[in-house]
Amino acid sequence: QIIKADKLQPWEVYPEVGWNPHTNSVDPNAVVLGEERIERNGNQVEIWMTAVRSHFTPEHVAIQQGDHVIWHITNVERAYD
């Protein structure tokens, strides 16, 4: 063991919903509950989805073969494990 675990002081949950650990800030594409949506522009489909445990909203997404899909999934779960 290189360092004792009690010295690390890790986060138990991220500071805010939509937190991006690579930038240490809220991601601009983060979704909050109630603002989920699907946008189609030609063959490009962009989905903004929330996840709470094993439930994803929107539940159904219709795409076609050949579509370019961009999927933003934000985990809005705030419970401690």
State the Cα–Cα distance between residues 60 and 1, nearest whole angstrom.
46
β partners of residue 38: 47
Q: What are the tens digits of pLDDT across the range 31-80?
A: 989 999 999 999 999 999 999 989 999 999 999 999 999 999 998 887 77
Which residues span the domain enclosing 27?
Answer: 5-75
Please say whether the beta carbons of 38 and 49 come within 8 A.
no
69 belongs to a structural domain: yes
Q: Residue 80 domain-assigned?
A: no
- 81 falls within a domain: no
In a domain, 14, yes or no: yes
Is residue 61 included in any domain, yes or no?
yes
* φ, ψ for residue 21, nearest 5 deg: -70, -20
Residue 81: pLDDT band with limits 50, 70, 90: low
Position 15 confidence tier, pLDDT thresholds 50, 70, 90? confident
CA separation for the pair 18, 71 (Å, rounded): 14
Does residue 37 belong to any structural domain of this protein?
Answer: yes
